[in-house]
Structure 1
């Protein structure tokens, strides 16, 4: 297990290093100069040069990259060009929207996917199974932002059950805040629930065909008792792996959904910073999201290896 963990840690470090290089390079080649954007078209060359020196934009790119990476390793994400405040403070404020949204969507996708997968597996070949599998095909094929717009059209504009956008704030109470996150969470959860339902159905069907399930039935257990006592427990192993990986996808998926619903989270912060050419904010926030995704995948690998020793022997 130690050897497996060390290999995964090495892979994590390499992935983070490559990700930081790619993020920095992509943002650096994007057109537009932050200093010129801040001062306008009629800025004097001397003023422009002074601002670039103040922001550190006149330094060589290699030096700027190393300073950026070194700052992140020490917990310093830099200072926003536009707001002149630490990026870490801006991120801390937005996390209280993005993380609850991702967790809310994860709970919804897990409940929907689990129940739909079990329902389809138990009714294999029946009308219910066909309907569930057809719905999951749509859920996988249609992007979350389309679901988001349809939810706004139906539940916000026509039925007026929810607000079309914005965030009530946690200071107004738990339920008003959760109400603001409900439609965005549903939009995020639908596609992930569809994937989870298909995995759950496939895993459960594989378990139901095993010899020990027939033995359980031969000992007098009813189909429902055999399913809940033996079938689900063994079918959940690959499903739990998918659930862990889905959380990282949901964190990344909040970038688009927050823009649709005007939520003041990390995703909207990225869009605002791109518009303002606030490069340090874009680089740091995107890197944090990539870091979260890679670390979550690493933890899922370690947890799965702890449950299934065969993975440790293969590497």
Structure 2
């Protein structure tokens, strides 16, 4: 087990190194000069050169890459070109919105998907199964940003139950959770649809196994067999999808955060791209890549908890 963990950790480190090189090279290849963009079209060449030197853009690419990576290792992500403050401070402020939003959306995904998948699998071929599959197909087909705008129109503009956007901060937890509810629902709908379909397929495959028929022959009810035996053995694909979904919810909420004017990481990246603040874009992107790889690593460890055969192997 220790050898397996060490090999997985080494794979994680190598993946981070490759990702950092790709991110750095791609952003350096983007046309346009951040210093010239900040100073405007009428800036003098010597002024642009002085600002480039101040921003650390004059060194060679390998030296700048090593300086960026070595800083990230100790928690120094650099200084924002636009805001002139440490990027780590911007990330700390924004992760307080994106992190809870992703966790909230994932919780709603699980709450919606597991009962739907259980109902569809246990009622295979019946009206309930067809209803759940139709609803999940609709949930996958509807873009989450369109659903977000529909939620705003219904619950914020028409019913006036919640605000249309913005985030009041965590000084008032009730107001903060209320502000994150509509974005979390908009993010959770397509993810819950995907997870419910995956769970249904995994449960159907599991319910056809011999040990399930043996459990039924011993007198266990269909519900007990499905929940106590089949659900745990169908957990491997579900854990895989959950890990991918959390990564997507954390890193892929750019559109939703802009629809609801949430000051999260997605909106920070969007602002960094429009303002040519490359150090913010590459540092936040690298942080999100680390989160994706770390979640994948934790999901692989969760496999061994869900399936004892993997521990023995």
TM-score (norm 2): 0.93
Residue 237 of structure 2: aligned partner: 238
Post-superposition Cα deviations, 1:164-191, rounded to whole Å, max 9, x if no partner, equal: 21112111x1111011101110111111
Residue 33 of structure 2: aligned partner: 33
Q: Which moved more, 1:33-42 or 1:108-117?
A: 33-42
Q: Which moved more, 1:214-223 or 1:18-27?
A: 214-223
Deviation at 1:101, TM superposition (A): 0.1
Residue 42 of structure 2: aligned partner: 42
Deviation at 1:302, TM superposition (A): 2.4
CA distance in 2, matches of 1:122, 1:115: 11
CA distance in 2, matches of 1:179, 1:154: 15
Residue 112 of structure 2: aligned partner: 112
Residue 253 of structure 2: aligned partner: 254
CA distance in 2, matches of 1:85, 1:31: 24
CA distance in 2, matches of 1:136, 1:50: 56
1:83-122, aligned counterparts within 5 Å?
A: 83-122=83-122
2:280 is paired with a residue of what secondary structure?
helix
2:253 is paired with a residue of what secondary structure?
helix
CA contact (8 A) 1:4 1:312 kept: no
CA contact (8 A) 2:233 2:306 kept: no
Residue 174 of structure 1: aligned partner: 173
1:7-156, aligned counterparts within 5 Å?
A: 7-156=7-156
TM-score (norm 1): 0.93
Q: Which moved more, 1:46-55 or 1:97-106?
A: 46-55
CA distance in 1, matches of 2:94, 2:58: 30
Q: Which moved more, 1:94-103 or 1:192-201?
A: 192-201
Count of matched residue positions in the alignment of Structure 1 and Structure 2: 313
Deviation at 1:8, TM superposition (A): 1.8
Q: Which moved more, 1:104-113 or 1:59-68?
A: 59-68
Residue 192 of structure 2: aligned partner: 193
CA distance in 2, matches of 1:88, 1:138: 40
Residue 165 of structure 1: aligned partner: 165
Please report the RMSD computed on the Cα atoms of aligned residues, expressed in angstroms: 1.9
- Structure 1 residues 246 and 179 mapped into 2: Cα distance closer, same or farther (>3 Å)? same
